Structure 1
C-alpha cells in the first residue's frame, strides 16, 4: 500500500500519475490537458463540462474521460458550487469502476467479504480486484488496511492499491466519502469486488505495494 497526496510522486508501478481537486464557482474554468489520459469525476454537486463536442452536465459520482482531441475543455457549476477531481495517468482501455463511495460507523456485521482478524466497526467488505485501484479521501478520516498493512487516512490522501491485494476500510473516525478509480483490468479481467471464498485465490502482484 502506498499513500500520497496531490503533487506527490506516486510509486513507479502506478497507472495513476497524479490527481487534483478543482473547486468550481462563478465563471467557467479552463481545464488543460496535461497527461496522456485524464478523467474528470464529480466529487460534490454537479458541473457542466464543455468541449469542442458540446456540453454535458455531470452529477456527483459521474465521470467523463477528457480526450485531448476534443479540447479545449471548460467546467462550471452554473449558479452553484461544485468540486471535481481530475485523475491523470496512463491506464489502458479495459477499465474497472469509478465513482464515489461512503463509509460510516455500523453495528452490522459484513457477511459478503473475506474473513478478517482485525476489529471492524463498518459494514465495508474485505475484497480484492483484477486491477489496481485508487481511493481519494474527499471527506472524513479512517483506517485503511491493504494486505497486512494499515494506514490512517484523511482528506486529500490517495491510497494506491495493487492488483490482488485485499483491502478494507474497517474503522472511521469521521464519516468518509471517497472517490474510487479501478484502472486497467488484468488477468481474468473480472470487475467489481472479488472474494476468495467465492471467486478463488487473488492474483497478487507483490511488487505493487
Structure 2
C-alpha cells in the first residue's frame, strides 16, 4: 500500500477512493496581519505583483496587505482553528475566546471571525499571527497538538489504535513509514492509519507540525504503541 502522504492541499482533496477512510478533507495555513479589514474567506494570491526592484514601495505594501481578521464559514461537517504562532481572538455564536500558540477552537456551522490579537508596536504595526484551519468529517478528535522534533530529539517508531494525521509546517525530514523511508517537506499532510508504524528516528534538522488524532478503534489504547511492548500492530486501512 502506498503511503498516504499528500504534498499539497490539492492532493488531499483529490485523494483516490481507496483512501476514503481519511477523515481530513482540507488543511490550510493562513496569516493575520495589520491591514484594517476582514477577509471574507480565503483570498486569492495576487495575479500581478509590483517589481520589488523597480517599484520597491508598492511591492512592500502589497506584501504586507494582510487582513487583520478573517471570516471562516465551514464547508465540511467539522472545522477547527489552531494557533501556530502569535495570539488570536475568535468570535462566534458560541462565544469569544482568546487563543495562544497550541490552543484551538471548533467553528460552529454559522461561522466565526478570527482576529489578530497582538498589540501594535511602537510604529503602530502588529506582528503577524499564523493560523491553521483543519476541515473534515471526523466523529471525534482526541488530540490536537503542535510537535517539535530535531537532532537529538527523534520521534519514536510507533503505531496507534486509531488514525493519526501530521500537518507539517516547518523543516524537512525522513519519515520511516511501515519500514520504508519517505522524504517529507513543509506543507505535507500525513495520514497514518490505525496500526501503521511511523516515526522519524534520525532527524537532521528541526521540524514542526500539528499532530491530530481521531477516534480510537480496536483495543482503544491511547498514545504511542510499540511492537516490542504492545504486540504486533493490526492494520485496518
Within a 5 Å distance, the mapping from 1:1-209 to structure 2 comes to: 1-4=3-6, 5-8=8-11, 9-10=14-15, 11-26=19-34, 27-68=68-109, 71-79=110-118, 80-93=127-140, 95-106=141-152, 122-205=153-236, 208=237
- Residue 198 of structure 1 deviates from its aligned partner by 2.5
The structure where helix makes up a greater share of residues is 2
- Residue 25 of structure 1 deviates from its aligned partner by 1.6
Q: Which runs of 5+ in 2 are unaligned?
A: 35-67, 119-126
- Residue 19 of structure 1 deviates from its aligned partner by 0.8
- Residue 197 of structure 1 deviates from its aligned partner by 2.5
- Residue 150 of structure 1 deviates from its aligned partner by 2.1
1:99–1:180: 8 Å Cα contact kept in structure 2? Answer: yes
Q: Distance in 2 between the 1:17 and 1:53 partners?
A: 24
- Residue 53 of structure 1 deviates from its aligned partner by 2.2
TM-score for both structures, normalised by structure 2:
0.74
Q: Which runs of 5+ in 1 are unaligned?
A: 107-121
Q: Distance in 1 between the 2:154 and 2:187 partners?
A: 23
Q: How many residues align?
A: 188
Partner deviation per Cα, 1:28-59 (whole Å, 9 max, x = no partner): 21112111111112122221111112211112
Deviates more, 1:136-145 or 1:36-45: 36-45
- Helix, strand or coil at the partner of 2:209: strand
Q: Distance in 1 between the 2:107 and 2:111 partners?
A: 10
Which of the pair has more CA radius of gyration? 2
TM-score for both structures, normalised by structure 1:
0.83
Q: 1:78 to 1:46 in 2, by over 3 A?
A: closer
Q: Distance in 1 between the 2:178 and 2:194 partners?
A: 11
TM-align CA RMSD: 1.6
Runs of 4+, deviation exceeding 6 Å: none
1:25–1:76: 8 Å Cα contact kept in structure 2? Answer: no
2:154–2:202: 8 Å Cα contact kept in structure 1? Answer: no
- Helix, strand or coil at the partner of 2:26: strand
